Amino acid sequence: MGKELVFAAMRHEAVERAPWVPFSGIHSGFLKGYSSKDVLQDKAKLVESLLEVNKVYAPDGQPVVFDLQIEAEILGCELAWREDTPPMVSSHPLELNKSIPTTLPTEKDGRLPMILSVMSDMKTFVGETTALYGLVTGPFTLASHLRGTDLFLDMYDDPDYVHQLLTYCTKVANAMAKMYIEVGMDVIAVVDPMVSQISTEHFIEFLSEPFSDIFRNIRTNHVFSSFFVCGNAMRNIEVMCQTSPDSISIDENIDIKEAKKITDRYNVTIGGNIQLTVTMLHGSQLANMKAAIDILDACGTHNLVVSPGCDMPFSTPIVNAIAVSFAVRNVEEARKMLVGYNGSLDLEDISIEIPEYQHLKRPLVEIFTLDSDSCAACGYMLAMVVAAKEELGEAFDYVEYKFTKRENIKRCIQMQVKNLPSLYLNGNLIYSSLIPSKDELIKTILGAR
């Protein structure tokens, strides 16, 4: 039974095969012809879509909702809604009001009545066979939603305020986890993409205790935990393990084989990390089968969950996720089908023109993102550039390249972009998976004039 396979992996037991957990958040709506907004606001459409995921992809575990704005919306952030990505936070209530909120979410707030009802229904419909994941927004990402990009400056200028705000956001995470556990979620995943954007020293100073507290509370309630992170968080994998989650999920920016050497030392299960765009969105069935087999070859089956690197792109071809499901369950048959396959993405039809940076009238900042509309870390990196632009005006130009487009994949290859999000200035890498403060970015840009 798939659910027991996930449980065995979380208990660090030997398994007959690695469990398969597709992070099919808004993509679930794609299966039934619904938009992102449909499945994140309409109970009937969300349940219908989740049941389709369960039927078509045969997951051992699956998330019910993948939306890191649920708490932020309840706490006063305005959201910008789109058809094929989760909503994005468009306002920050603490941006001009440096205070500490006191109210905590309840089951009657925001979209929680709908979400909790869906969780309860899914527990009834598939809870015997499928491990259900309840996703909670991590304290650092939630603090970023509330405070905006000033949070990064606060970490240097007003660390006491940051500690207080994170203490509050930790209470919010614990309150959300409690509600999800009460309706039957088997795994509480604390999703904090912003963790990849800070140094290990800042993680230890600001986040070690909040995450340790959250995972202690989850363990006390006798369910499993997972620590989700996006971007190149390799430098922080060890300190993440030290907060004692049952598992850690990583994205394509991290070498899963190298990360697993660390997680195994702490007996933490690792999940990941099939590429979202190159493989799942734009790749073939064979490419997706190869991705799953490559992960298994790198990691074995112990302490491993095979999954996409993050929330699957909305229009991921259905056959691609089916291919992963097949490969995980039929490893040797998949190997035979892959004989002679080289796994390359065909981009020969695309021509990319790289700017002649030395001849530009103004410095050019290029932001390479997974997608700033759906990736929180990407969105905040872009926001920092926009803030610098508002202050400097015509002093520099900027452009965003989203990895969801084939031409931008080729641009990344030609410019040897290794991690997303990254900032380039006049063709040179200046920040890789690390969000600078506005003042630091402005100083760097002005230095290039």
The answer on 143 and 230 residing in a single domain is yes
Give yes or no: residues 92 and 236 share one domain: yes
Residue 75 counted as domain residue: yes
- State how far the Cα of 25 lies from the Cα of 276, in Å rounded to an integer: 13
Would residue 230 count as lying in a domain? yes
- Pair (290, 388) in one structural domain: no
- Angstrom CA distances, 178 to 62, 193, 339, stand at 19, 21, 48
* Predicted local distance difference test score (pLDDT) of residue 435: 83
**Please, how many CA atoms are within 13 Å of residue 134, restricted to the half-sphere of its CB?**
29
Regarding whether 377 and 262 lie in a shared domain, the answer is no
Measured between alpha carbons, how far is 308 from 313 in angstroms, rounded to an integer? 10
Q: Estimate the share of the chain in helix, then strand, then coil, as percent rounded to the nearest 5.
A: 50, 15, 35
| In a shared domain, residues 194 and 308 | yes
Q: Does 352 reside within a domain?
A: no
Q: What is the pLDDT of residue 290?
A: 96
Closest CA to 94 of 72, 109, 70: 72
Does residue 361 share a domain with residue 324?
no
277, 303, 337 - which closes a domain = 337
Does residue 156 lie within any of the structural domains?
yes
> 373 and 330 share a domain?
no
CA 221 to CA 363: how far, in whole Å? 53
Residue 443 CB contacts under 8 Å (≥ 6 apart), including other chains: none
Indicate if 180 and 306 belong to the same structural domain. yes
Q: Are residues 278 and 415 in the same domain?
A: no
Question: What residues of the chain score a pLDDT lower than 70?
Answer: 449
| CA-to-CA dists, residue 313 to 105, 373, 405, angstroms | 29, 11, 12
At 404 the pLDDT is 79
Residue count (the chain): 449
Has residue 343 been placed in a domain? no
Looking at 337, 369, 400, which one is the last position of a domain? 337
What CATH number should be reported for the domain holding residue 386? 3.40.30.10
Say how many C-beta atoms besides its own lie within 10 A of residue 349's C-beta.
Answer: 8
Q: Note whether residue 88 is domain-resident.
A: yes
List residues bridging with 304 in a β-sheet: 270
In a domain, 342, yes or no: no
The Cα–Cα gap between 112 and 135 comes to 12
pLDDT for res 193: 94
- Assigned domain for 301 exists: yes
Q: Which tokens in the block code for residue 177?
A: 């986890």
The secondary structure of residue 108, as a DSSP letter, is T
Which CATH number covers residue 15? 3.20.20.210
The DSSP symbol for 23 reads: -
Of 195, 273, 301, 276, the closest CA to residue 239 belongs to 195
Per-residue pLDDT, 370: 77
194 and 322, same domain (yes or no) = yes
Domain that holds residue 436: 357-446
- How many Å apart are CA 359 and CA 405, to the nearest integer? 27
Spatial contact of 31 and 56, defined as CB atoms under 8 Å apart: yes
Q: What is the DSSP string of 308-363?
A: ESSSPPTT--HHHHHHHHHHHH-HHHHHHHTTT-------TT-------GGG-SS-
Cα–Cα distances in angstroms (integers) from residue 443 to residues 277, 362, 398, in the given order:
33, 15, 16
pLDDT value of residue 412: 87
Per-residue model confidence as pLDDT tens digits over 298-357: 999 999 999 999 999 999 999 999 999 999 999 999 999 888 887 777 788 899 999 999
Q: What one-character DSSP code corresponds to residue 234?
A: G
What are the backbone angles phi and psi of residue 166, rounded to the nearest 5°?
Answer: -70, -35
- Residue 282 shares a structural domain with residue 388: no
Q: Are residues 371 and 313 in the same domain?
A: no
Q: How many domains does the chain have?
A: 2
Q: What does the pLDDT read at residue 341?
A: 83
The mean predicted confidence, pLDDT, of the chain is 94
Q: What is the pLDDT of residue 187?
A: 98
